[in-house]
Chain A
Amino acid sequence: GEDVEQSLFLSVREGDSSVINCTYTDSSSTYLYWYKQEPGAGLQLLTYIFSNMDMKQDQRLTVLLNKKDKHLSLRIADTQTGDSAIYFCAGPGGYQKVTFGIGTKLQVIP
Chain B
Amino acid sequence: EAGVAQSPRYKIIEKRQSVAFWCNPISGHATLYWYQQILGQGPKLLIQFQNNGVVDDSQLPKDRFSAERLKGVDSTLKIQPAKLEDSAVYLCASSQGSGGKNIQYFGAGTRLSVL
Contact = CB atoms under 8 A, between A and B. Distances in A.
Contacts of A43: 43, 91, 93, 104, 106
Contacts of B107: 42
Interface string B20-49: 000000000001010000001111110010
B100 interface: yes
B31 to A, nearest CB: 5
B97 interface: yes
B4 interface: yes
A33 B103 CA distance: 8
Interface residues of B, number: 27
Nearest to A94: B56
A45 B41 contact: no
Nearest to A42: B106
Interface residues of A, number: 23
Interface string A72-101: 000000000000000010000111111011
Interface string B67-88: 0000000000000000000000
A contacts with B: majority SS: strand
B48 A97 contact: yes
A40 interface: yes
A57 B93 CA distance: 26
A26 B14 CA distance: 40
B58 to A, nearest CB: 10
Contacts of B41: 102-103
A94 B31 CA distance: 14
Contact of A31 (B42, B102, B108): B102
A42 B109 contact: yes
Contacts of A4: 42
Interface of A: 4, 30-31, 33, 40-45, 48, 50, 88, 93-98, 100-103
